[in-house]
Amino acid sequence: MSSVIDITHYLDDRGFPVFVGSAGRLSRFFGKIVAAASLLPVEGTILSAVPCRRRPGHKLCEGSIHIYRRYDGVIEWTCPECDDEGFIYNWEATYWDKSRYYDSNLGCDAIALIVTREEYDALAGIETLSEESEAILHAAATVDDGVEIAAAPGAFDDLAGHIAFEANHEANECSELLLGKVCERIEVLLEFNEIAQGFYD
Ligand SMILES: [Zn+2]
């Protein structure tokens, strides 16, 4: 099934995403695709961390959405597992356009961390993230052994701060442990990066 949509149809009068009912579900799905695409260079592609929305035979499709940001601005997306696909127009300068974070977060000095799908979902579920940290998560890629988050060291440092804050305020012990472990790994990654930088300076 192919869908062609104008993303502004999923925003309310003030430009915020609609979040109730089936329109809300679609708004979240298409919005994540737009955010990921907006953080790609023009003509860029990514196997994103956006999970497929389809339920063939009442079972959730396990595919991740592949995204292509076309030269003319149109976003093409497809699920490699079930072949669901679509086109998204008119997303520039909307709520979901996160391209302003591209340079500061995802520049050439970016370093990468691979987390499990469960860890990624826990990070994406943190409500106190900064917009910069949200953008890093939107730009994540699905890889063989999980989800790859890539960002500049400063942006990772910021993300670690938000995770630590959330872990300290987490009532659920499992989530607290999981977030704490991700935080530790980011700190190790940043330390290694600093040592490597010192090596080259
Ligand atoms: Zn699918």
Task: Quote the ligand 1 centre to 45 CA distance (angstroms).
Answer: 17
End position of a domain, from candidates 46, 68, 89: 89
Taking the centre of ligand 1 as the mean of its atom positions, its distance from the CA of residue 46, in whole angstroms, is: 15
> Does residue 80 sit in the same domain as residue 142?
no
* Amino acid 200: pLDDT: 66
Mean pLDDT over residues 188-198, rounded? 88
**Does residue 95 belong to any structural domain of this protein?**
no
Contact in structure between 18 and 24 (CB atoms under 8 Å): yes
Are 61 and 52 in contact, with CB atoms under 8 Å apart?
A: yes
Q: What's the CA-to-centroid distance between 85 and ligand 1, angstroms?
A: 9
Say how many Å lie between the CA of residue 162 and the centre of ligand 1: 32
Q: Are residues 114 and 168 in the same domain?
A: yes
**Under DSSP, is residue 75 helix (H, G, I), strand (E, B) or coil?**
strand
pTM of the model: 0.92
Domain annotation covers residue 49: yes
Tell me the CA–centroid distance for residue 96 and ligand 1, in Å.
Answer: 22
Q: How far apart are CA 201 and CA 195, in angstroms?
A: 10
In the predicted model, is pLDDT for residue 173 greater than 80? yes
Residues 49 and 106 in one domain: no
What tens digit of pLDDT does each residue of 100-148 get?
998 766 666 789 999 999 999 999 999 899 999 999 999 999 999 999 9
Structural domain containing residue 178: 100-200
Distance 111 CA to ligand 1 centre (A): 29
**pLDDT-above-90 percentage for the chain:** 74
Distance 103 CA to ligand 1 centre (A): 31
Rounded to the nearest whole angstrom, what is the distance from the C-alpha of residue 57 to the centroid of ligand 1?
12
* pLDDT digits 0-9 by tens, 7-32: 999 999 999 999 888 889 999 999 99
Per-residue pLDDT at 196? 82
Q: Which residue has the higher pLDDT, 147 or 176?
A: 147
Q: How many domains does the chain have?
A: 2
pLDDT value, residue 108 = 65
* 66 close to 9: Cβ distance less than 8 angstroms: no
User: Strand ranges (DSSP E) for 8-152?
Assistant: 45-51, 64-69, 75-78, 85-89, 111-115, 141-143, 146-151
Residue 94 lies in a domain: no
Going from the Cα of 91 to the center of ligand 1, the distance in angstroms, rounded, reads 23
Instruction: Establish how many alpha carbons lie within 13 A of residue 70's alpha carbon, considering only the half-sphere containing its beta carbon.
Output: 12
How far away, in angstroms, is 1 Cα from ligand 1 center?
11
Ligand 1 centroid to Cα of residue 60, in Å, is 8
59 lies in some domain: yes
The verdict on residue 183 lying in a domain is yes
Taking residues 164-186, what's their average pLDDT?
Answer: 88
pLDDT attached to residue 104: 63
Q: Give the Å distance between the CA of 92 and the centre of ligand 1.
A: 26
The rounded mean pLDDT for the chain is 91
Distance 33 CA to ligand 1 centre (A): 14
